[in-house]
Amino acid sequence: MLDDIRIAQQAQLRDVGAVASDLGLAEADLDRYGRHKAKLPLSLAQRPARGQLVLVTAISPTAAGEGKTTTTVGLAQGLRRLGTNVIACIRQPSLGPVFGVKGGAAGGGYAQVVPMEDINLHFTGDFHAVSAAHALLAAMMDNALHHGTAKGLDPRRVTWPRAVDMNDRALRKVTIGLGGPANGVVREDRFVITSASEVMAVLALASDAADLEARLARIVVGFTPAGDPVRAGDLGAAGAMALLLKDAIRPNLVQTLEGGPAFVHAGPFANIAHGCSSLVATRAALALADVVVTEGGFGSDLGAEKFFDIKCRAGGLTPAAAVVVASVRALKMHGGAPKAELAREDVAALERGLANLGRHLANVRQFGVPAIVALNRFATDSATELAAVARFVEAQGARVAESDVFARGGAGGEALGRLVLETLAGGNAAFAPLYDAAQPVTTSIETVARRVYGADGVDYTPTAAKALQRIEAAGLGHVPVCIAKTQYSFSDDPAKLGAPTGFRITIADAYPSAGAGFVVALAGDIMTMPGLPKGPAAERMRLHPDGTIDGLF
């Protein structure tokens, strides 16, 4: 089988105008970026919703892979083959992981969104706009400190970092302002990857242009010596930041390998941010399609919980079903099988690992959303192993469909598509967030830790306790919580696979994301600036004289 980039390069893409026409849109509705991608009007997000929303989430990821984005795209392709008016809504990949170890994030095999190279690289410039808006606020803040007009901001209590869309561990801790008084105030600083920027979270959650600027104005850049927050609005930065984001807030239209419409917009990570594509893209899709398939990053404990408790709450969304993606290979790793032996049949390890799937199913259900299992097929899966998963899922009161979209595209997603349509027709969803956002943040953290992670409780380091006290005193302590946690385990220890019990979650630090409308709680040693591996994927990438590229997966 060809690798992902060769499959994408050989695809016969439709003109983006034809894709838009399928949705009832005219050429005048498009701002084209070439023949195969376009910006759509922001006003589409204000139209009444007509469609039903399906979330794709997954078991806890392992090195074996579970195939969530591939399943999301493949499910949309399968539904389209079944005659459904469907749109896939996914996040835009970050350049850091693309050039690092993870590679691209446009799906895989014959279930991809295209043009894959563009989506994984500069696309329509949205990430660059976010980086620029973030940098503008940092520059204006330090300029105000330099000129003494910073509204009482204490340089020792600055919380606003810098951002760049690349994995660069050397920027995690830096010192700025060196070289004398003309170069600003000397202070410690740090960088985050653009996907972890609060500007990215604001872009993903803003409902329109006015809401975008209002949210930007609420961003807290630091505190005064008395503990009062200093915001972007206090520095006069919100209007100019909004100008930089005026096009970035508009959804991007592309297509699947089979020519169906896909919206790729915004890209917050789920382990360090809220992990969902933009609210305006989802709302626009719900106004144009009968079914909208979207995804939340990583497993139900991260992406799905934040999708339900943050995005759906903020946007008034009511998901009708959720698909939990699993693979025999990943489940065997959760059951203790080493990666080198995953091709060998091991029903005992599989059955031990099924506890992880069971907890993810329970997580989805406690939000009042029906759960379906998509069993992502690999060539090494045995009939015995597949049957064991099916028995387990049925014993949990759920339904399962095998998914072979990687190898067969939409044809391999038709069985899953039929199951999704049957679930939607049943109308059994009764969605509700897990907690009351008006309660103290610490209560919400405890609720998520106990009910979603399965923890026995929560402990706070002195740093976290002090940060939460400061947040509460500043009037920011009664909003949803976004817990930054390892994606590999329900616990805060990535080595604890399966469905661990008897553990507690440790919150190491916390900070307000007031523009986004939540508080971020850091569980364990969570890096908001990743590093490159010893052999980064960038080393294998090449641009050929004819303009084609190699090494992008």
Could you report the per-residue pLDDT of 350-366, keeping only the tens digit for each? 999 999 999 999 999 99
pLDDT at position 186 = 95
pLDDT at position 527 = 86
First to last CA, the chain: 14
| Interval 295-319 mean pLDDT | 96
Residues of the chain with CATH 3.40.50.300: 4-124+248-426
pLDDT at position 103 = 66
Sole residue written with tokens 């010893």: 534
pLDDT at position 311 = 97
- Radius of gyration (Cα) for the chain, nearest Å? 23
Asked if pLDDT for residue 345 goes beyond 90, the answer is: yes
Asked if pLDDT for residue 468 goes beyond 80, the answer is: yes
pTM value? 0.95
| Interval 513-523 mean pLDDT | 95
Count of beta carbons in the 10 Å neighbourhood of residue 170: 9
Residues of the chain with CATH 3.10.410.10: 441-523
Helix, strand, coil % over all residues of the chain, rounded to 5: 40, 20, 40
Mean pLDDT over each residue of the chain, to the nearest integer: 95
Q: For domain 126-244, is the CATH number 3.30.1510.10? A: yes
Please report how many Cα atoms fall inside a 13 Å half-sphere around the Cα of residue 384, on the Cβ side: 8
Asked if pLDDT for residue 6 goes beyond 80, the answer is: yes
Q: For domain 4-124+248-426, is the CATH number 3.30.1490.20? A: no
Q: In this structure, which topology does domain 441-523 adopt according to CATH? A: Formyltetrahydrofolate synthetase; domain 3 (3.10.410)
pLDDT at position 550 = 86
pLDDT at position 553 = 75
d(CA 220, CA 436): 23
Contacts of 489 (CB under 8 A, 6+ apart): 60, 495, 496, 497, 500
User: What's the Cα-to-Cα distance from 26 to each of 30, 255, 285, rounded to whole Å?
Assistant: 7, 16, 16
Is there a contact between 466 and 522 (Cβ–Cβ < 8 Å)?
Answer: no
Q: Which residues pair with 263 in a beta bridge?
A: 89, 253
pLDDT at position 102 = 64
